[in-house]
Amino acid sequence: MIGYLLRRIGHGLFLLLGVSLLVFLLMQAAPGDFFSTATLSERMSQETVHALRAQYGLDQPLPVRYVRWLTSALHGEFGYSFSYNMPASALLLPRARNTLLLTVPSLLISWLIAVPLGVFAAWRRVGWIDRLYSGGTSALLGMHDLLLALLALMLALHTGVFPTGGMSSFSASGTLLTDWKDLLWHMALPVSVLVAGSVAPILRHVRSSMIEVLDSRYIRAAEGHGLGPLTVLFRHALPAAANPLISLFGLSTALLLGGSLLVEVVMSWPGLGPMVLEAILGRDMFLVVGAVMLSTVFLICGNFLADLLLYVFDPRIRLDA
Amino acid sequence: MKNRGKLTVTAGVLVAVHLLAVIAGFIAPYNYETQDREHPYARPARIHLTDCEGKFHLRPFVYATSPRDGTVNDYQEDCSRPEPITLFISGENYLLAGLVPTNLHLFGLRAEGRVYLLGTDGFGRDEFSRILYGAQISLFAGLLAAALALSLGMLVGTVAGAFGGWVDESAMRLAEIFIAVPWFYLLLAVRSVLPLHVSPLSAFIMVVAVIGLLNWGQPARLVRGVVLSGRERNFIQAAEGFGAKRLYLLKRHLLPMSFSVALTQMAVLVPRFILAEVLLSFLGLGIGEPFPSWGNMMAAAQQYYVLSSYWWMILPALAPIPVFLAYHALADVLQEKLQSTI
């Protein structure tokens, strides 16, 4: 158990290091930096720009800069934001929390919807239920997050029932309960958009891997022994079908993180997305690097969770480990 | 048999859509940059068969519109100026398929007025024409990026699978790193180091290159798997026994074996990459004005007043749906075929 976990953690750390190197190299390949536009300004002398570059360590050779950035990341600072003039982490962490506030509930809800529905669709795999199901998932697959987000925004604008963006209202302040209610009210639309965008592929996978299991003989035997459909489906078939689904769990985190970035921008949710966009337009490179690293950390956590679940659910993994 | 029918239908739809994009200039009544400053945010035109007096006409027509007094961007129909819609009419000059200069359009109005099937944007540009021209950019950006990602993935995958050892190990580790970053974040990060203000053509090349170069990991893994299992096949081992060189094996046997996997992967990747281009352009990091892409056309819809008053500005978001559906169906059919051959 411990060996297996350690190996997965080590692998995650290796990936993080690799990603950091990749992104850092990429940023260095960029022509110019945050102070490039300043050199064009008449009000700033070359010496001032040089001094600024030296102050932020931009005049150092690449390996030095990378090691410096790495130590700063290990101290939890992720470099320095030029435009905000403060450690990048102080900006990124609250934003990252807000992003998680969208992605984690969306992840849970879409799986909670997809698993029972997919199992049901696999059980009733002929007839009108199946046709309804395949029509529905195809339609959802054809939609994309951008369309869904714009539609949700339109809904909010026309009905006025939901807020059109942001995370909290001005009026809501005071007791913990009203604050939470206000937050949930603001989360409703972005989370629904994310769920609608991610539920269809999960559903399809659940159905197809369940069908594979339901065709096997021991399920027939279980049915023949008079076990009820619920027991057969959830006690015997689902665990056997779980392996590919759990791997999909990690993948769905990746898709949700990407989708969330867009939804945050469209629905002005103060998550990582709008900040990344702003940092890109302002060439604030450490913010970009930091956001990419944080999103990678989330993804790796998702995959790690999947590995853990796999260990719990799949005895074959336990034997290997 | 059922499978084959499905394949024909989906392939037919895809070919038709791409053809439509190629001959966009002919289908579209106006050029993508033609502005009508008299009609910003005009509603989709009402096509009439009966006129104001209730008389029926065989030829569909529209009424000329003029701004309604006391309103902003609202127009009223003028019952005294019917303008019949004419097929195969000569209008603005354009290059058919980018090659043949002509001025023939599928439909249009003979008179001065203009017909806006899907309304106009804030500059009075015809949304219908722009969606068609936008298809040229969005569809082919996705297609080219997928081709790039696949060729790169196939190259890395076959080499890794065929050579094994440290080559395989390092290639797959690298692929893992590329896969480990949420794709949209990586896309934006790479986009951030490239210049922001560039000419539309280099923006297009840049978008294609960035999307293609970042996504070689998944196809490389799949192709490597095929090559690895292929190396265990008897006929390949026999060829090896007869003294076939590695390069020969790669070219003659292993690469062709991975084609069907690559094709299936292509059907999966293209819609994803079309979406990537759309999103980049939507965020203002892709193809810029005045060239239309499905993404940058929707950028205006981000503003609340546009979204609440001019619902047709969201229509470009619907354009990818049939394309996505067709590609998904194609991927499903190819996947089934693949599984039945193994």
Cβ distance A154 to B328 less than 8 Å, yes or no, reads no
Adjacent-strand bridge partners of B104: B90
**Which residue is closest to A17 within chain B, CA to CA?**
B177
Query: Do B153 and B183 sit in the same domain of this protein?
Result: yes
ipTM of the complex: 0.82
Adjacent-strand bridge partners of B100: B96
Spell out where B9-52 has E strands.
48-50
Question: Which of A19, A266, A285 has its CB closest to that of B177?
Answer: A19
Query: Do B119 and B153 sit in the same domain of this protein?
Result: no
Cβ distance B182 to A289 less than 8 Å, yes or no, reads no
Say if B307 is an interface residue toward chain A (CB within 8 Å). Answer: yes
Cβ distance A154 to B194 less than 8 Å, yes or no, reads no
For residue A280, the distance in angstroms to the closest alpha carbon of chain B comes to 5
Residues A108 and A115: their CA atoms lie apart, in Å, by: 11
CB-CB neighbors (< 8 A) of B314 in chain A: 147, 150-151, 154
Query: Do B108 and B176 sit in the same domain of this protein?
Result: no
Burial of B227 (0-12, 13-18, 19+ CB in 10 A): buried
Spell out where chain B has E strands.
48-50, 56-67, 75-96, 100-109
Question: Which of A141, A146, A283 has its CB closest to that of B278?
Answer: A146
Query: Do B298 and B151 sit in the same domain of this protein?
Result: yes
Where chain A has pLDDT below 50, the residues are: none
Query: Do B16 and B97 sit in the same domain of this protein?
Result: yes
Q: How many domains does chain B have?
A: 2
The domain boundary, picked from B130, B160, B194, lies at: B130
Adjacent-strand bridge partners of B105: B89
How confident is the model over A102-123, as pLDDT tens digits?
A: 899 999 999 999 888 888 888 8
- Identity of the residue numbered B17: V
Residues A182 and B148: their CA atoms lie apart, in Å, by: 47
- B193 touches A30 (CB < 8 A): yes
Query: Do B141 and B7 sit in the same domain of this protein?
Result: no
Cβ distance B317 to A292 less than 8 Å, yes or no, reads no
Say if B209 is an interface residue toward chain A (CB within 8 Å). Answer: no
Residues B174 and B216: their CA atoms lie apart, in Å, by: 10
Helix or strand run (H / E) with residue A114:
helix A88-123
Q: At what angle do helices A62-74 and A285-313 cross, to 10 degrees?
A: 60
- The confidence score (pLDDT) of residue A189 equals 86
- The confidence score (pLDDT) of residue A171 equals 61
Say if B193 is an interface residue toward chain A (CB within 8 Å). Answer: yes
In sequence order, what DSSP letters do the residues of B296-331 get, joined into one string? HHHGGGGSHHHHHH-GGGGGGGTTHHHHHHHHHHHH
Cβ distance B285 to A19 less than 8 Å, yes or no, reads no
Cβ distance A143 to B325 less than 8 Å, yes or no, reads no
pTM over 0.90: no
**3-state DSSP call for residue A223?**
helix
Q: Distance of alpha carbon B230 from its chain centroid, rounded?
A: 34
Question: Which of B189, B314, B321 has its CB closest to that of A288?
Answer: B189
Say if B328 is an interface residue toward chain A (CB within 8 Å). Answer: yes
Query: Do B91 and B190 sit in the same domain of this protein?
Result: no
Please give the backbone phi and psi of residue B71, each rounded to the nearest 5 degrees, phi first: -125, 165
Adjacent-strand bridge partners of B314: none
Cβ distance A153 to B307 less than 8 Å, yes or no, reads yes
**Which residue is closest to B321 within chain A, CA to CA?**
A142
Q: pLDDT exceeding 70 applies to what percent of chain A?
A: 90
For residue B55, the distance in angstroms to the closest alpha carbon of chain A comes to 37
Please give the backbone phi and psi of residue B77, each rounded to the nearest 5 degrees, phi first: -80, 145
Helix or strand run (H / E) with residue A81:
strand A80-81
Query: Do B198 and B333 sit in the same domain of this protein?
Result: yes
Cβ distance A144 to B275 less than 8 Å, yes or no, reads yes
Residues A102 and A195: their CA atoms lie apart, in Å, by: 10
Say if B195 is an interface residue toward chain A (CB within 8 Å). Answer: yes
Contacts of A310 (CB under 8 A, 6+ apart): A243, A246, A247, A317
For residue A167, the distance in angstroms to the closest alpha carbon of chain B comes to 17
Which DSSP state fits B86?
A: E
Adjacent-strand bridge partners of B107: B87
CB-CB neighbors (< 8 A) of B325 in chain A: 138, 141-142
Q: At what angle do helices A285-313 and A238-266 cross, to 10 degrees?
A: 160
Burial of B170 (0-12, 13-18, 19+ CB in 10 A): exposed
Name which of A196, A29, A206 is nearest A106 in CA terms: A196
The domain boundary, picked from B80, B106, B130, lies at: B130
**Which residue is closest to B283 within chain A, CA to CA?**
A277
Cβ distance A26 to B188 less than 8 Å, yes or no, reads no
Residues A233 and B229: their CA atoms lie apart, in Å, by: 34
Question: Which of A138, A157, A257 has its CB closest to that of B304?
Answer: A157
Query: Do B222 and B295 sit in the same domain of this protein?
Result: yes
Q: pLDDT exceeding 90 applies to what percent of chain A?
A: 2
What is the mean pLDDT for each group of 10 consecutive residues in chain B (342 residues)? Answer: 74 87 83 80 80 78 78 77 79 76 79 79 85 88 91 88 82 83 81 75 84 86 83 81 80 79 85 88 82 86 80 86 87 79 60
Contacts of B174 (CB under 8 A, 6+ apart): A18, B217
Please give the backbone phi and psi of residue A41, each rounded to the nearest 5 degrees, phi first: -70, 140
For residue B330, the distance in angstroms to the closest alpha carbon of chain A comes to 12
For residue B10, the distance in angstroms to the closest alpha carbon of chain A comes to 14
**Which residue is closest to B214 within chain A, CA to CA?**
A22
- The confidence score (pLDDT) of residue B1 equals 45
Instruction: Say which CATH number the domain at B194 has.
Output: 1.10.3720.10
Cβ distance B193 to A26 less than 8 Å, yes or no, reads yes
HSE (side-chain half, CA atoms, 13 Å) at B81: 13
Name which of A79, A86, A69, A81 is nearest A17 in CA terms: A69
Say if B17 is an interface residue toward chain A (CB within 8 Å). Answer: no
- The confidence score (pLDDT) of residue A39 equals 65
Query: Do B182 and B310 sit in the same domain of this protein?
Result: yes
The domain boundary, picked from B76, B97, B130, lies at: B130
- Under 8 Å CB pairs connecting chains A and B tally to 130
Query: Do B80 and B11 sit in the same domain of this protein?
Result: yes
**Which residue is closest to A298 within chain B, CA to CA?**
B182
Cβ distance B285 to A280 less than 8 Å, yes or no, reads yes
For residue B326, the distance in angstroms to the closest alpha carbon of chain A comes to 9
Q: Using only the alpha carbons of chain B, give its radius of gyration.
A: 25
Per the structure, the complete domain to which residue B272 belongs is given by: 133-341
**Which residue is closest to A296 within chain B, CA to CA?**
B181
Cis peptide before B290 (omega within 30 of 0): yes
Query: Do B151 and B112 sit in the same domain of this protein?
Result: no
Q: Distance of alpha carbon B11 from its chain centroid, rounded?
A: 15
